[in-house]
Amino acid sequence: MEKPEVKRLLINYKTLEEFQNFREYGAPELSMKEDLQANIIENDSESPFYGIYYGNKLVARMSLYRVKGKFDQYFEPPQDYLELFKLEVLEAYQNKGYGKALVDFAKSFNLPIKTNARQRSDEFWNKMDFESVTYQPMRDRGENPYVWYPEGVKEQVLSQEQR
Amino acid sequence: MEKPEVKRLLINYKTLEEFQNFREYGAPELSMKEDLQANIIENDSESPFYGIYYGNKLVARMSLYRVKGKFDQYFEPPQDYLELFKLEVLEAYQNKGYGKALVDFAKSFNLPIKTNARQRSDEFWNKMDFESVTYQPMRDRGENPYVWYPEGVKEQVLSQEQR
């Protein structure tokens, strides 16, 4: 099978229209829409979203956000890391390696990655070599955090107050 | 219809078994399980979970976590607030007012409430008198935050760095 190509998505009305096919459509998408309507951002500027097209159709996507080291509560030593969210493959296109292609792309930055494993997706994240972290109620607030450690990085131990 | 009774759930193996019927089963539940297995917590001690029973069956639940005012990035004036998560009603018991009963219970503390509206549940949250907040990528990281303001509380305006 040909390796799926991951593209950085452009902020424009076409991308927004494609996003409506995904289940997790919410604040980030609406924020993008408002920005476009208010012309705050240039049409076709780059978004934090990456995706895979099948022909002209967007069939998989994720968002990657770089969090600054001083806000890092997951990794030791504390450092800039990537928060990965809204990873989703349209149902008809699942089990074709598109999810893995997106995750491999995220890993290519060689920064630690944190995500929130939703709805019993643990098996997928384990296959991607992600690990669950010790659940800390104050920090994680109901999330199901999974992380990927590049070489030399490990889990951060939090102070009592941060937990 | 009789008003559904909201109960604070006990941390024990029966509660854990009930939790497996819910779609969102993850880190908080597994953490509870580990604690029980390690006998760190007393069996039957109180959890952050509240629920509604239909006969002996747990059919709806939510978790409420009190966040300290110094971590508040949502409300003005900054203050202790409730983070509401894992609100879920088993499919066969939906549209009977159980979700509303849980939310009304959360409101009864008269603290601001913040939640993350998932999978296009905006309509439900609007009905509950929750409002969406201005999306801030750094703070919200892909979430779809909805809040409930008690009298005299409004949206917090963040500094550039916090956004």
Q: Tell me what pLDDT residue A93 has.
A: 96
pTM score: 0.90
Residues B159 and B163: their CA atoms lie apart, in Å, by 7
Q: How many CB atoms lie within 10 A of CB A92?
A: 9
- Report ipTM for this prediction: 0.84
- Dmax (CA) of chain B: 51
Q: Model confidence at A1, in pLDDT bands (50, 70, 90)?
A: low
Dihedral angle computed from the Cα positions of residues B13, B15, B16 and B17, in that order, rounded to the nearest 10 degrees:
90
pLDDT at A130 over 90: yes
Q: What is the DSSP letter of B109?
A: T
Residues A77 and B95: their CA atoms lie apart, in Å, by 48
Helix (H) or strand (E) holding B127: helix B122-127
- Closest chain A CA to residue B138: A67
Point out the residue among A23, A27, A143 whose CB comes nearest to the CB of B119: A23
Residues A50 and A11: their CA atoms lie apart, in Å, by 11
R_g (Cα) of chain B, nearest Å: 17
Residues A76 and B86: their CA atoms lie apart, in Å, by 29
Asked if B4 is an interface residue toward chain A (Cβ–Cβ < 8 A), one would say no
CA angle A13, A23, B144 (to 5 degrees): 80
pLDDT at A15 over 90: yes
Q: Model confidence at A72, in pLDDT bands (50, 70, 90)?
A: very high
Q: What is the DSSP letter of A97?
A: S
| Interchain contact, B63 vs A142, CB within 8 Å | yes
> B74 Cβ partners below 8 Å, 6+ apart?
B81, B112, B114, B133, B145, B147, B155, B156
Distance from the A108 Cα atom to the nearest Cα atom in chain B, whole angstroms = 21
Residues of B whose CB is below 8 A from A71: 138
Q: Strand A81-89 relative to strand A113-116: parallel, antiparallel, unpaired? A: parallel
Q: How many CB atoms lie within 10 A of CB B57?
A: 12
DSSP H helical segments within chain A, as ranges? 13-19, 27-37, 98-107, 122-127, 137-140
- Closest chain A CA to residue B35: A135
Among A126-130, A158-162, B7-11, B119-123, which stretch is predicted with the lowest mean pLDDT? A158-162
Point out the residue among A65, A83, A143 whose CB comes nearest to the CB of B27: A143
Asked if B143 is an interface residue toward chain A (Cβ–Cβ < 8 A), one would say yes
Q: Which residues pair with B47 in a beta bridge?
A: none
Asked if A119 is an interface residue toward chain B (Cβ–Cβ < 8 A), one would say yes
pLDDT at A146 over 70: yes
pLDDT, one tens digit for every residue, chain B (163 residues): 578 999 999 999 999 999 999 998 989 998 889 988 888 888 788 889 999 999 999 999 999 999 999 999 999 999 999 999 999 999 999 999 999 999 999 999 999 999 999 888 999 999 999 999 999 988 898 899 999 999 999 999 988 777 7
Please tell me which of A27-36, A46-55, A99-108 the model is most confident about, judged by mean pLDDT: A99-108
Q: Kindly report the average pLDDT of chain A as a whole number.
A: 92
Q: How far apart are the first and last CA of chain A?
A: 45
- Could you give the 3-state DSSP secondary structure of residue A151? coil
| Interchain contact, B132 vs A27, CB within 8 Å | yes
Residue A124's nearest CA partner among A105, A141, A88, A99 is A99
